[in-house]
Structure 1
Amino acid sequence: MQNTPLIGKTIREARLREAAGVSVIGVWQGGRLLPPHPDLLLDEMSLPVVMGTREQIDELNIMLVIYSANDEPVLVIGGGTVGQAATRALRRQNIGVHLIEIAPCAGLEAIPDRLFAGDAADLRVLMEAGLDKTPSVLLTTHDDATNIFLAVYCRRLNPEVRIVSRITYERNVEAILRAGANFVLSEAWLGAEIVMAQLMGRETIILGEGVELMTLPLPSSLAGQTLAESGIGARTGLNVIAIEQDGAFVANPPPSVPLRRDCQLVALGSLAQRQVFDAAYSNGEA
């Protein structure tokens, strides 16, 4: 979002569907995935989540890439297993990477574009690695307290940088978001998501901490109502992003779309919101 014409516009004003055919299904702001309300204002740290075909996503990237003038390497802090995997993944996408590791192992220098041996808490090391220029910082150390400290430190030194962090314990997610991270993934949540995906026979889809993509059979009490009349969003907090009917999908359905008895709802939300949905509609309430 940074440096694009979308800053300062609402989702309605951004007109991404008209421009590229994609549907906005949520917006990450302040570490939270918000429903795509048409009047939601986009700022420099907003991260819209869009849905579309490969061609539509490519078209959107072409539209916005001209505004992403920062081609400086991404800064990865922590050269352990996670840091190395992230570095390799970024480089496979032809994204430059500078890696900081306090105790580099043999051969580590061959993984990033450039390796900086030293403590990331050292201002000199951070600046030599390019913190003041990088568009993004990835915190991958195995210590939550260290990642929280580094999130605060990096945010103060570069208020515009996007910070993504690993967290070992889910209880520390709120702390690192307050510290300045834009996006957080905990190992506990990732592990649970992978196990559930395997049990349900589906691909693992990572949308963010605590956010899941779920398919819900339409409760009989809602059959014949429109999506707006169902009140699903207001009552449960779930964001219905598509409706599946006879093998066909209606993406980003309008509030006026009728809900047929045999349709299924594709929604984004948390486990707690799913439980609210089940409780609200399982007893025939409308």
Structure 2
Amino acid sequence: MKFIPSQLLFLLQDRRARRNIRSLTEFTLFLFVLVVVYSYLFHVIMAHEGRDFSIITGFYWTLTVMSTLGFGDITFNSDLGRLFSIVVLLSGIIFLLVMLPFTFIQFFYAPWLEAQNKSRVPRFLPPEVDNHVIITCYDPIAIALIERLKQYGHAYVILEPEVQQALDLVDQGYRVLVGELDDSETYRRAQVEQAALVVALNDDMKNTSIVYTVREIAPHVPIVANADMEDSVDILSLAGCSHVFQFMNMLGQSLARRTLGARTRSNIIGRFENLVIAEAPAMRTPLVGQAIRETGLRPSTGINIVGLWNRGHFSLPRPETVIESSTVLVLAGSEEQLAAYSTYVGETDAVDSAPALILGGGRVGRAAVSTLKEQGMAYRIVEKNPRLSKDRENCVIGSAADHQTLIKAGINEAPSVFITTHNDDVNIYLTIYCRRLRPDIQIISRATLDRNISVLHAAGADLVMSHSSMAANTIINILTPDRVLMLTEGLNIFRCRVPAGLVGKTLLSSGIRETTGCSVIAVFREGSLHINPDPSELFTAADELLMIGTAQSERSFADKFPEKKGKFID
């Protein structure tokens, strides 16, 4: 009950609501006048019949007849009185039973419910809120980003101009603020001057407007924006955007770099000073079928295997782990060691290889083509929309679900197939289809939603890259420089001081990998980075560890060594 006055006050602040209440009041006054007139006529007709009743009785009779209760204790004897009763009854049905409820609901109850809902959505953030992330659009990238922000304890708010959409997000547990995206007052109420980052994920024109609006009141707040068109990159930068990304292009390039036909056997996915992290598909290399201890990689190249992906599942390497054709190795080392790895497993000749297939000629597919061209690798695009296929020489027009189209494109000889459509259901279907046609082909697929990553792996994809995860990881890496580096789906590099419980112990005796699932890939000592440290070296209190692992492994490390709580070091 204590909220009703505030909700009524909120209702009365709206001009349309005030106009509706005035109309309801006028109709109620009309009904009151009608009842008074009928009560007066009741006394006139009763006096004509020679009977006399009190004023209260006149109102009583009028209301019982208009409401159709009709107790029958007071009735007219003349035809004139009965005709008057019919008129009162019909007008009561029309005005009291039909128009009054409709008018009440239309002019008061419905606006009151709307005001009640609007009052649930915040329109400003408290002044003490700071170091938060402002997100201007709710989409798959925002969903993935919010999960990572929660993981690392960053506050956030989603700006939403539509009240109903904002209510839906509030009901789902998101922190939302209602306001127009091109209104500077919205960002003032969102405490933008105290924000850590503004993330603009709308279309290019809307993003440009957002950047200009934010820059008017917060010149120094970092802004990250997505650009759909190449020309928009410069425009957004000129508008004042700190970081502009073409996430679709980045996804296509990342997909293409993982093809088996490229000259290099590995793909760098992250850097930390002199340390590089790379993914290397084991398919069609001499490593397939060997246990890690049998490969001789570390003695021969200095590179360290710090993890293995197998159809979407990450695991730590053990000496007895057998490398399968579907395994993707996660390697850590210097660029020289990575080059030595490529020499050790043998490079391929991309020019003489059969063309890779790209199913879908949209933005992701075109970005993959650009990367394949840079690598000197042949390709074929399968696209059913002729307007998207500008490269007629290397394009096959037709549906990727048609067997003859895929045969014409070269499915029987292709080393890899990229599935790049924006529809996850289509991607799952094509993954199953291509796996049935070619059990030995490398299938690299795009996922729009994170929840479909595991489904695509189960359908037969060797590698799956999520557009939303890749974008969210990029934004998180900007927000937390030198603290955490998110590499790919759920795989992170993080940095922390050596816990007191590990001081004086060696890496071999620390049990970090066995108890937490994290791998130590480097040690900061006396201002220098020691990559792939000697397992027999002792940890000192001044050392800092650089570790790789999943989000769950990171939490396990914080639980195992509570003295530092897994705290990141700036």
Name the TM-score, length of structure 2 as normaliser: 0.46
Match of 1:130 in 2: 410
Partner residue of 2:214?
A: none
Q: Aligned residues: percent identity?
A: 33
Q: Are 1:23 and 2:304 matched, yes or no?
A: yes
CA distance, structure 2, for counterparts of residue 123 and residue 194 of structure 1: 38
Report if aligned partners of 1:242, 1:251 keep a CA contact under 8 Å in 2: yes
**Alignment match, 1:161:** 441
Distance change >3 Å, CA 204–CA 228, structure 1 → 2? closer
Residue type of the alignment partner of 2:395: L
- TM-aligned CA distance change 1:254 to 1:29, over 3 Å: farther
Is contact 1:194-1:204 (8 Å) kept?
A: no
Structure 1 unaligned spans of 5+: none
C-alpha distance after superposition, 1:181-201 (max 9, x if no partner):
111121221122111111123
**Letter aligned with residue 413 of structure 2:** K
Which consecutive unaligned segments of at least 5 residues does structure 2 have?
1-281, 566-570
Q: Are residue 48 (structure 1) and residue 329 (structure 2) matched?
A: yes
In terms of mean alpha carbon deviation, does 135-144 or 61-70 score higher? 61-70
Distance 2:470 2:388 in 1: 29
Deviation at 1:271, TM superposition (A): 2.1
Q: Distance in 1 between matches of 2:339 and 2:436?
A: 34
How has the CA–CA distance of structure 1 residues 132 and 106 changed in structure 2, closer, same or farther, with 3 Å as cutoff? closer
Aligned pair count reads 283
Q: Which is greater in Rg?
A: 2
Is 1:227 paired with 2:507?
A: yes
- 1:273 paired with 2:553, answer yes
Aligned to 2:123: none
1:1-286 to structure 2, matched below 5 A, reads 1-65=282-346, 71-105=353-387, 108-109=390-391, 114-201=394-481, 207-283=487-563
Partner letter of residue 327 of structure 2?
S
Q: Report the Cα distance in structure 1 between the residues aligned to 2:344 and 2:502, rounded to whole angstroms.
A: 40
Return the alpha-carbon distance in structure 2 between the equivalents of residues 149 and 61 of structure 1.
34
CA distance in 2, matches of 1:235, 1:101: 49
Question: How many Å apart are 1:74 and its aligned residue?
Answer: 1.5
Please give the per-residue CA displacement for 1:213-250, whole angstroms capped at 9, x wherever unaligned. Answer: 22222222322222233322222212222222123333
For residues 10 and 248 of structure 1, the distance between their equivalents in structure 2, rounded to whole angstroms, comes to 33
Whole-angstrom distance in 2 between the partners of 1:33 and 1:253: 22
Bigger shift: 259-268 or 24-33?
24-33
CA contact (8 A) 2:500 2:563 kept: no
Alignment partner of 2:504: what SS?
coil
Query: C-alpha deviations, 1:119-154, integer Å up to 9, x for none?
Result: 111111111111221111111110111111111111
Summarize deviations over 1:102-123 as a string: whole Å, max 9, x none. 213356316xx61111111111
Does the CA-based 8 Å contact 1:240-1:266 persist in structure 2? Answer: yes
Q: Per-residue deviation at 1:13?
A: 0.8
CA distance, structure 2, for counterparts of residue 179 and residue 26 of structure 1: 23
- 8 Å CA contact 2:288–2:325 kept in 1: the answer is yes
Report the residue type matching 2:291 in the other structure. Answer: T
Residue type at the aligned position of 1:147: N
Question: d(CA) in 2 for partners of 1:257 and 1:137?
Answer: 45
Checking the alignment, whether the CA contact within 8 Å between 1:3 and 1:68 is kept in structure 2 is no
Which moves more between the two structures, 24-33 or 198-207?
198-207
Bigger RCO (CA 8 Å, 6+ sep): 1
C-alpha separation in 1, matches of 2:522 and 2:405: 47
RMSD (Å), alpha carbons: 2.6
Q: Does the 8 Å CA contact 1:184/1:209 hold for their aligned counterparts? A: no
Q: How much does 1:26 deviate?
A: 2.1
CA distance change for structure 1 residues 206 and 281 in 2, over 3 Å: closer, same or farther?
closer
| Preserved CA contact (<8 Å) 1:3 1:67 | no
Letter in 2 for 1:84: R
Range with bigger deviation, 64-73 or 167-176? 64-73
Rate the CA distance shift 1:3–1:195 in 2: closer, same or farther, 3 A.
Answer: closer
Letter of the structure 1 residue corresponding to residue 430 of structure 2 = L
Partner Cα distance (2:395, 2:341) in 1? 33
Post-superposition CA distance 1:245-277 (Å, at most 9, x none): 123333333543322212122222222322222
Once the 2 structures are TM-superposed, how far is the Cα of residue 4 of structure 1 from its aligned partner?
3.1
Question: Following the alignment from structure 1 to structure 2, what is the Cα–Cα distance between the partners of residues 132 and 202?
Answer: 46
Q: Distance in 1 between matches of 2:488 and 2:378?
A: 24
Give, as a single letter, the amino acid of the residue that structure 2 aligns with 1:114.
N
- For the 8 Å contact 2:333–2:532, the answer to whether it is kept is no
Structure 1: distance between partners of 2:422 and 2:388 = 19
* CA spacing shift, 1:4–1:71, aligned 2, 3 Å: same
